[in-house]
Structure 1
Amino acid sequence: MSFPELKNDLLLRTLKGEAVERPPCWIMRQAGRYLPEYKALKGDKDFFKLCQTPEIAAELTIQPVLRYDGLIDAAIIFSDILVIPQALGMTVEMVEGSGPHFPEPLRTTDDVTKVLNHEVNVLRDLDWAFKALTLTRHQLDGKVPLFGFCGGPWTLLVYMAEGGGSRLFRFAKQLINEKPDLALQLLQKITDTAIEFLAQQVIAGAQVLQVFESWGGELSSMDFDKFSLPFLKQIVDGVPKRLQELGVKEHIPMIVFAKGSWYAVDKLCGLGYDGVSLDWSWDPKEAVKINKGRCSLQGNIDPGVIYGSNEVISEKVKYMIEGFGGGKGKYIVNFGHGTHPFMDTEKIRFFLEECHKYGSA
């Protein structure tokens, strides 16, 4: 498939480890709830209807790129990590004001076995996701590279077992402690699906990939090593192999984000990903020491800084970027998690403008 030539490859050069003129900038959840143009387009439409309508998903993806023209160096497809459970045969609803809901969560061995026995057809069941990527890639016209993504296997297991978000993680923890072998089988099924989904996103137009292990910090270090890390490793090894089978010869960079998994950063940096994204709990200088130049680091300002004054934003941007080496390479500006619905778009513009002041030029 032929796509427009990329005009801004700053993020891709950074992930290759090249010296760059400034750190590339993008923001997790940059497309969506805080933007007035998103609210206008969404109206009363169902969230998953937005994702599953390629024309709408493409427009939502590009909205922040246009609003912050020249300040954002990547687009991330407007979608959700919970599309993999959908491909695994589960029903997922997005309830306004309370988030995702699974009417039939995995609570028994029979529930899990049903999912394990489900015949996955990613190309058929997530066809809309690939159409959205292709359309978005063309409409971006090479302005910036396009991210595809998926949820981390442990994170998806949490949602599938809990039936939505959670504070206690009772059912997910019960599954891995009461029936660890069954949990590992489920994680393997999710991982196999994720590898195929990510590879097919590249075929459809994604130029860089991110894996969101958003609930990684809910595992102990011992459990992270058993129920998350091996599957994240399978993904970073498996996607390039699958892409080779699909005829893709160039290297597609991959980033992993394991929120709250402070004990695993050393292991994550050595896993083979081109980038490791960090939440805001990390001191940048400490993360740089631990990384030892093995991969690019991404992050990690607390999104809540956007509620502060311009002076506070400037101060914290300076601390972040100088801590990560001053923006001279192997570093990508991002939040330590996603935007909030209440954020001021002009404060985000100021944040991005401040970040653009740093670099080796």
Structure 2
Amino acid sequence: MTPLLNDRYLRALLRQPVDQTPIWMMRQAGRYLPEYRAVRAQAGDFMALCRHAELACEVTLQPLRRYPLDAAILFSDILTIPDAMGLGLSFGSGEGPRFANPVRSARDVAALPVPDPEGELGYVMNAVRTIRRELKGQVPLIGFSGSPWTLATYMVEGGSSKTFTLIKQMLYREPALLHALLDKLTDSVILYLNAQVAAGAQALMLFDTWGGVLSTPAYQTFSLDYMARIVAGVTRHAEGRPVPITLFTKGGGQWLERMAATGCDGLGLDWTQSLGDARARVGQQVTLQGNMDPSVLYADPETITAEVARLLAEFGPGCGHVFNLGHGIHQDVDPERAGHFIAEVQRQSRAYHG
């Protein structure tokens, strides 16, 4: 494998000293970039883009050509696993993801296969291998998956939801059925992430987008316990170095101690969480990722500069911080504002590292 030229992100996740706070952006390859929109149009639709290794590689690398980021993240989608289970995934214009065959019964759950990462999901592994080759060691590559709970919400609801009525009915009326679904998804995610590492991913992220809609006991039982199984089951060392894993539960700031106890290396924070408070609570156990409000990128450069300064001061000096947005970058953000944000993190953060 090609030597890694910039390992700042990996060292930060292991709470090792760095010269400046590493930065990447969730959804950094995406619709805010005109070059991405051109490739998306060439591919025809979103999943066709995901399934085409060379095009997925191209959009993964596009933000790295614009900005001096410290990591690349695989261009894919969190719904690849349920799609490979045969649920009939589609993306309607302006409607988000939809499944033609939602999971609602014990028979539905029993019929779900555990996808073969090099079979039905082989296109993802081909993309990982292609990206690693084309990165040429510039920065590490992050692989990812949706959490079992988050995947289950889409599978049971049949798509996006604001109320989560159907899956919460299952949770409270048929908890054993939901556990059977989450068990199968957990096994699938472990296989999927391990295959990504074998293909070349150098760090992992688990996106628990909808964990924050649960009560505390339900979060522990139906989301976090399964993520803990994944943390324990994924490859944590490859190519002669650790493979760190970060958990991100949107709306989960009240559970940071519980998340840190899983043994993960990093915790993603959304913008509603105080970075300083989070460091005081769990900063000796894990690295913290985040957590600027993505909407700050609509502001003028002076406001962006001030918000970067505030967050760096709130975390304070020392290691254990990966700068990021508190969620994905919005599609209508000016790329110049994103560039200013990245430059300011790098300029200002050097003072916080000896």
TM-score, scaled to structure 1: 0.94
Q: In structure 2, what is the equivalent of residue 353 of structure 1?
A: 343
Structure 2 alignment gaps of length 5 or more: none
Which of 104, 112, 126 in structure 2 is aligned with 1:107? 104
1:112 & 1:128 partners in 2: Cα distance? 25
CA change 1:119–1:236 in 2 (3 A) is closer
Deviations 1:67-105 (A, max 9, x none): 11xx20000010000001123232211222221111111
1:171 & 1:215 partners in 2: Cα distance? 14
Question: Equivalent residues in 2 for 1:190-339 (5 A)?
Answer: 190-240=185-235, 250-326=241-317, 328-339=318-329
CA change 1:194–1:249 in 2 (3 A) is farther
Contact 1:269 1:294 in 2 (8 A): yes
Q: In structure 1, what is the equivalent of residue 59 of structure 2?
A: 60
1:203 & 1:292 partners in 2: Cα distance? 30
Which of 13, 16, 19 in structure 2 is aligned with 1:21? 19
Give the residue type in structure 1 aligned to 2:285.
R
Name the SS for the 2:246 alignment partner. strand
Structure 1 alignment gaps of length 5 or more: none
Give the residue type in structure 2 aligned to 1:151.
G
Deviation at 1:108? 2.9
Contact 1:77 1:146 in 2 (8 A): yes
Aligned length: 350
| Aligned-pair identity (%) | 40
Deviation at 1:300? 0.5
Name the SS for the 1:201 alignment partner. helix
Contact 2:59 2:75 in 1 (8 A): yes
Deviation at 1:121? 1.9
Q: In structure 1, what is the equivalent of residue 45 of structure 2?
A: 46
Give the residue type in structure 2 aligned to 1:108.
S
2:117 & 2:167 partners in 1: Cα distance? 25
Name the SS for the 1:228 alignment partner. helix
Which of 29, 32, 56 in structure 2 is aligned with 1:31? 29
Contact 1:22 1:329 in 2 (8 A): no
Name the SS for the 1:107 alignment partner. coil
Q: In structure 1, what is the equivalent of residue 91 of structure 2?
A: 94
Deviation at 1:112? 2.5
Name the SS for the 2:232 alignment partner. helix
Deviation at 1:123? 1.6
Query: Is 1:83 the equivalent of 2:80?
Result: yes
Deviation at 1:16? 1.5
- 4+ aligned runs moved over 4 Å, structure 1: none
1:239 & 1:134 partners in 2: Cα distance? 18
Name the SS for the 1:297 alignment partner. strand
Q: In structure 1, what is the equivalent of residue 157 of structure 2?
A: 162
CA change 1:351–1:119 in 2 (3 A) is closer
Contact 2:297 2:337 in 1 (8 A): yes
Q: In structure 2, what is the equivalent of residue 125 of structure 1?
A: 120
